[in-house]
Amino acid sequence: AVYFGSWDGKIYALNIANGTKKWEFKTGGKIYSDPTVAEGKIFVGSDDGCLHVLDAANGSEIWSYKTGKEVRSSPAVSEGVVYFGSLDGNLYALKADSGEEKWTFETGDGINASPAIVDGRVYFGSWDGKLYALDAKKGKEKWTLETGGKIMSSPAAKDGRVYVGSSDKNVYAVDADS
């Protein structure tokens, strides 16, 4: 199936073979977040302030988690944990099977971009102009890089480097460890 969200507040599943609708699920707000498929579940944020977790087969809601503002970050799932940001300025780490909170990390502004999980670290940017590196298990800050503008793009990490764009019109390539 193909899964996507819409400004009508619905998440859709379409049959790949013929494009027919398999199911739809209505949230309480527009969907900017790209759905993430993992472990037979769909993870997607909504402008209703929730991360919704649906059964990929039938679209029934398994659990949801309410944040303080819109969830426009696309979730990342790694080792049984779902990571996502909210416009409330927090990055969340929840158990993917239950929604139980493992940790949250507060930044100075909203998080629109999606996190990258590589080698036990979570990399993400915030509208506070900082790129963050956190320990994925405990949510403890490893380092931050201050840019001259909001970070609205999702970072990419490869071969010991983290790459991210900033609204200061620069792309940063930084050492993943420091």
Q: CA 27 to CA 50: how far, in whole Å?
A: 9
Contacts of residue 136, defined as CB under 8 A and 6 or more positions apart, other chains included, come to: 78, 79, 81, 83, 93, 117, 120, 121, 122
- Sign of the CA dihedral with 70 first, then 72, 78, and 80 last: positive
Residues 100-138 as b/e (b if ≥16 CB within 10 A, e otherwise) read eebbebebeebbbbbbbbbeebbbbbbbbbbbbbbebee
pLDDT of residue 109: 98
* pLDDT given at position 11: 98
Q: Are 51 and 73 in contact (CB under 8 A)?
A: no
C-alpha 159, offset from chain centre:
22
**Residue 9 — left, alpha, or beta (φ > 0 → left; ψ -120 to 50 → alpha)?**
left
pLDDT mean by block of 10 residues, the chain; 178 residues? 97 96 98 96 98 98 98 97 98 98 98 96 98 98 97 96 97 97
d(CA 2, CA 52): 17
**Residue 96, CA distances (Å) to 92, 124, 170 in order:** 11, 19, 34
Distance CA 47, CA 86 (A): 10
